[in-house]
């Protein structure tokens, strides 16, 4: 049977989503270890996408096949009992046999959280980038308009070895201020390149600090050169918020 | 000059508020170390009260005397620059010379946070007690009525060596459910004995679980015996929320 799960995790102490040979501190690795204990066989967990080291998730989606017929709710209970405190499965259901959480994803939303005040809230400190300076959000919105739509985002790609298409569509960039000195930027699109959200967030912050003009965004996109875009914002402020599957789920 | 500060801290990695000989991991110790660096002299920080190891604060209040005349805002900036990420000063002002944060406190509010769901939210896990069971909140409210008012709370005192009066007044016990499976209980009163809030929270949880009847509260108070009350709820769920000073500040 094919089971799909929705999970949240605090990425602080992990080396990212993807299982690696040289570390057992990955989200995928933790999930597979518990599922192999449950099923007595090797289990491969497919995520909707990798998250980098230190990146968090509110709504990561993953699926895996089990030989046994088990209730999805029981599998979720078992996972939550044996997973560490910083990984939680909050929903689980049986999926069509051919469902694949990465291949069938049609839309994703990431959120980048910035603290503009002099010091981060002590209870939220692991989930914010501490910029410590005020941003001109109107300028950032003007830049965001130029980044929205279908573009070649090669300038915003952290991987040099990317040989496939770097064209993606950003449907929406939203700016939310939950408090006067906090800014959340959420990016919704059909797919994101490696470190793309962090480079977008870093570039937008440079606009908000007056280091770049909003109009530069068009030139940066055209250049197709990572060096033209801004800094890669730290992973601690980034959340994978939601993955959508259209009519599939 | 006498400076009063308001601070929040994540108590997880501290051995409580009060400076101790055998550990440098106390809130008071961290504050005094930074202030001594600032002033070049020994500084004694007075807190509104001690918090136990692992207990958090949203609005702890403390004061200290400095030989130099400095702007309170500058002292706050200096503290935030050199204090660790899990301690933050969010307000500072000059206080009357004879103001003392413990002696002049007229009212305090503590909050105890309980997760009733099977697993704690990963981003809030350090700030909730993970009960993992549903509570009958109406029964807890009935018990809380009997605990409100002026009573001898010796049964709810964690210290055996308490020689002074154990009479205190609880003005209000409030139950708030920020989400269906989360419960916050806040206790407002003129003063609290050692571990009193945690023992009250533990006893109320036992009522909510059906292990004790609400009416038992009167008998427990009368007994003046720690063994008659419920368990001491873990420190991770406890916050010192607010300290009030009447007209003094």
Among B33, B38, B25, B35, smallest CA distance to B63 is for B35
Predicted confidence (pLDDT) at residue A249 exceeds the cutoff of 80: no
- Tell me which residue of B111, B185, B190 sits closest to B150, measured CA to CA: B190
Contacts of A212 (CB under 8 A, 6+ apart): A143, A203, A206, A230
Neighbours of B97 (CB within 10 A): 8
pLDDT at A24: 87
Nearest residue, CB atoms, A85 vs list B10, B88, B122: B122
The mean per-residue pLDDT over the stretch B132-143 comes to: 98
Tokens of B121: 């939210």
A145 Cβ contact list (under 8 Å, min separation 6): none
Binary contact (A118, B80; C-beta < 8 A): yes
CA distances from A118 to A113, A131, B30, B86 (A): 15, 8, 19, 14
Do the Cβ atoms of B206 and B230 come closer than 8 Å? yes
Instruction: Using pLDDT thresholds of 50, 70 and 90, give the confidence band for residue B160.
Output: confident
Of B80, B118, B125, the CB nearest to A86: B125
Beta bridge partners of B115: B130, B182
Judged by a CB distance cut-off of 8 A, whether residue B56 touches chain A is yes
3-state SS class at A183: strand
Distance in angstroms (rounded) separating the CA atoms of residues A218 and A108: 23
ipTM for the complex shown: 0.90
pLDDT higher than threshold 90 for residue A247: no
Mean pLDDT, chain B, rounded, equals 96
- The partner residue sitting opposite B10, judged by closest CB among A85, A86, A123, is A123
Select the residue from A122, A128, A132 to test the B interface by mutation, using most B Cβ atoms within 10 A: A122
Q: Does B181 contact A at CB distance below 8 Å?
A: no
Confidence grade of residue B24 (pLDDT, cut at 50, 70, 90): confident
C-alpha distances in angstroms, B3 versus A119, A122, B67, B76, B165? 20, 22, 11, 10, 31
The residues of A carrying an active-site annotation are 52
- Which domains are assigned to chain B? 2-95 (3.30.70.580), 107-244 (3.30.70.660)
**Six-digit token string for B160:** 């055996």
Residues 68-97 of B with CB under 8 A from A: 77, 80, 85-88
Return d(Cα B209, Cα B177) in angstroms, integer. 17
Burial B204-227 (b: 16+ CB within 10 A, else e): bbbbbbeebebebbeebbeeeebe
Return d(Cα B10, Cα B220) in angstroms, integer.
33
pLDDT at residue B184, as a whole number: 98
Q: Which positions in chain A touch B236 (Cβ < 8 Å)?
A: none
Cβ–Cβ of B122/A8 closer than 8 Å?
A: yes
CB A233 within 8 A of CB A198: yes
Helices (H) and strands (E) in chain A, counts: 5, 10
pLDDT of amino acid A142: 98
**Using an 8 Å Cβ cutoff, are A217 and A143 in contact?**
yes
B244 in A contact zone (CB under 8 Å): no
Judged against a pLDDT cut of 80, whether residue B249 lies above it is answered with no
CB A107 within 8 A of CB A243: yes
Please write the tens of the pLDDT for every residue from B70-102.
999 999 999 999 999 999 999 999 999 999 999
B126 vs chain A: nearest CA distance in angstroms? 9
User: In angstroms, rounded to a whole number, what is the distance separating the alpha carbons of residues B212 and B148?
Assistant: 18
The number of C-beta contacts closer than 8 angstroms across A and B is 46
* Three-class DSSP category at A186: strand
Q: Are B233 and B112 in contact (CB under 8 A)?
A: yes
A83's CB contacts (< 8 A; 6+ apart) are A30, A31, A34, A89
Return the pLDDT at A168. Answer: 97
Which positions ≥6 away from A247 have C-beta within 8 Å? none
**How does DSSP classify residue A49?**
S
Distance (Å) of CA B43 to CA B15, B34, B59, B102, B233? 20, 9, 21, 17, 34
Residues of A in contact with B80 (CB under 8 A): 118-119
Is residue B189's pLDDT more than 90?
Answer: yes
Largest CA distance in chain B: 58
Pairing label, strands A129-130, A107-115: parallel
Task: State pLDDT tens for residues A24-71.
Answer: 899 999 999 999 999 999 999 999 999 999 999 999 999 999 999 999
All residues of chain B having their beta carbon less than 8 Å from the beta carbon of residue A9 are 122
Residue appearing with tokens 């010192």: B240
pLDDT digits 0-9 by tens, B56-71: 999 999 999 999 999 9
């Amino acid at each position: 049977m094919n089971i799909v799960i929705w999970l949240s995790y605090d990425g602080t102490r992990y080396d990212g989503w993807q299982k690696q040979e040289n570390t057992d501190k990955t989200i995928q690795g933790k999930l597979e270890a518990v599922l192999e204990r449950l099923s007595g066989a090797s289990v491969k967990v497919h995520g909707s996408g990798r998250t980098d080291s230190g990146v968090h998730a509110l709504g990561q989606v993953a699926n895996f096949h089990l030989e046994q017929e088990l209730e999805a709710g029981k599998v979720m209970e078992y996972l939550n009992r044996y997973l560490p405190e910083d990984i939680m499965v909050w929903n689980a259901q049986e999926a069509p046999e051919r469902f694949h959480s990465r291949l069938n994803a049609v839309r994703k939303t990431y959120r980048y959280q910035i603290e503009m005040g002099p010091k981060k809230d002590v209870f939220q400190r692991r989930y914010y980038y501490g910029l410590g300076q005020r941003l001109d959000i109107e300028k950032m919105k003007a830049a965001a308009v130029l980044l929205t739509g279908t573009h070649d985002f090669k300038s915003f790609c952290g991987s040099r070895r990317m040989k496939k298409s770097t064209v993606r569509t950003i449907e929406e960039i939203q700016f939310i201020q939950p408090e006067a000195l906090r800014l959340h930027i959420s990016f919704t699109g059909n797919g994101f390149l490696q470190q793309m959200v962090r480079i977008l967030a870093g570039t937008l912050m440079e606009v908000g600090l007056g280091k770049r003009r909003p109009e530069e965004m068009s030139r940066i996109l055209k250049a197709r050169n990572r060096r033209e875009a801004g800094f890669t914002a730290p992973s601690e402020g980034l959340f994978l918020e939601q993955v959508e599957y259209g009519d599939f789920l």
